[in-house]
Structures are given as C-alpha cells and as structure tokens.
C-alpha cells in the first residue's frame, strides 16, 4: 500500500511539474531519477512495485515516462556522483530509497523535487521541517516517525473496527505508547 501511495504522490508531482512546463514544451516526457545505495537485487521487489504502481496510473517507462535508475551497489561513496548525474540529466523528480541517498540528493539540488521512498525520521534527519509542512523540495513516506504513530493506530482501527488490542514490538530505545 505504501508503494502505491508513493507512486500516487510521484504522479501528482509529475503532473504538477508537467502542467507548468506544458505551455513551454510540447509533449515533454516526464523524467524520474531513482537513487538507491543498495544493489538492484536488494530492491528488486520494491522497484517492481514502484514501476507497477506507475503503470497502474498510466505511466509506462520508455513510452510516456522515462526512469533513470542509479545504484551505488552498496558503495555509499558513489552516491554523490550518482546524485550529480541525475541532476545533470535534468530529471523532473528524484525518488530516493532510504535516508542515505536522500541526504546526498538534498545536498545535490535545492530545486528538483525529492520523494523519499522511506525514511524512519525525516524531521530528525533534517530532510523536512515537519510532517504537516515538509518545506523545501523534499516530501515522501515515513513509517516510524513518532508524530504519525497515533494516526497509524487510528487508520488501523478505522480499517479493522473490531480491533481491540495492538501490540508493538521494539527495542529499549523505543518509547511505549498505549491507545485503546
């Protein structure tokens, strides 16, 4: 579900970008950069879901959208070079797979929209100002931020009205929150 939400968020950003440029350029194919620190095999299922989510929204790579995949192959020192390459390609949006690529891309551009595919604490990592108002050019998905835990429980309860108990497992560093 998060992957489809990410694809929908990306589609909205692409449509917004494409509509403002449409008057200047005819039939511009949106260009998406995708940056990961991990080898492609590690992210293959996520990438497949991402591509399928775009396809479900009518975007097909090589037809009406162009996706430039870049992977540092677990060599994080390569990330700045790969981020700079995506910026030089003048992609319309960059999707990042995790906090490390997000940090690098945020340093590489202040103008190209960045969509985080996953970050446990984007506020704490300094990528956004707040979840309600990200600010700058970074947005995306967060799964473990303290601020959204209550909302996640509300959505779970809404989805499963008969839900009476929820257990959350974590480490000692995790704070315990209880909601009935």
pLDDT tens for each residue of 123-165: 888 898 887 788 889 988 876 656 667 777 888 888 888 888 8
Would you say residue 171 lies in a domain?
no
Would you say residue 45 lies in a domain?
yes
pLDDT at 40: 87
Tell me, yes or no, if the pTM score tops 0.85: no
pLDDT at 83: 98
pLDDT at 30: 94
| Cα–Cα distance measured from residue 88 to residue 80, given in angstroms and rounded to the nearest whole number | 12
Instruction: Using CB atoms within 10 Å of the CB of residue 36, give its burial: 0 to 12 exposed, 13 to 18 middle, 19+ buried.
Output: buried
Would you say residue 170 lies in a domain?
no
Would you say residue 63 lies in a domain?
yes
Q: Give the total number of structural domains in the chain.
A: 1
CA nearest to 119, candidates 1, 4, 6: 6
Would you say residue 82 lies in a domain?
yes
CATH of the domain at 33: 3.40.50.2300
CA nearest to 116, candidates 140, 135, 86, 87: 140
pLDDT at 21: 54
pLDDT at 57: 92
pLDDT at 157: 83
Would you say residue 96 lies in a domain?
yes
Q: Which positions of the chain have pLDDT values less than 70?
A: 1-26, 143-148, 169-180
Would you say residue 108 lies in a domain?
yes
The domain of 51 spans: 2-143
Would you say residue 31 lies in a domain?
yes
């Amino acid at each position: 579900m998060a992957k489809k939400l990410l694809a929908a968020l990306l589609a909205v950003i692409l449509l917004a970008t494409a509509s403002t440029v449409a008057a200047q350029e005819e039939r511009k194919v949106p260009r998406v950069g995708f940056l990961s620190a991990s080898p492609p095999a590690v992210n293959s299922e996520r990438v497949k879901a991402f591509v399928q989510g775009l396809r479900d929204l009518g975007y097909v790579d090589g037809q009406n959208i162009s996706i430039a995949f870049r992977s540092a192959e677990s060599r994080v020192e390569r990330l700045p070079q790969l981020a700079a390459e995506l910026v030089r390609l003048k992609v319309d949006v960059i999707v990042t797979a995790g906090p490390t690529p997000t940090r690098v891309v945020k340093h590489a551009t202040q103008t190209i929209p960045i969509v985080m595919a996953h970050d446990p604490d984007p506020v704490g990592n300094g990528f956004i100002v707040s979840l309600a108002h990200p600010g700058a050019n970074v947005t995306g998905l967060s799964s473990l931020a303290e601020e959204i835990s209550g909302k996640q429980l509300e959505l779970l309860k809404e989805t499963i009205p008969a839900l009476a108990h929820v257990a959350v497992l974590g480490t000692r560093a995790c704070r315990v929150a209880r909601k009935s």
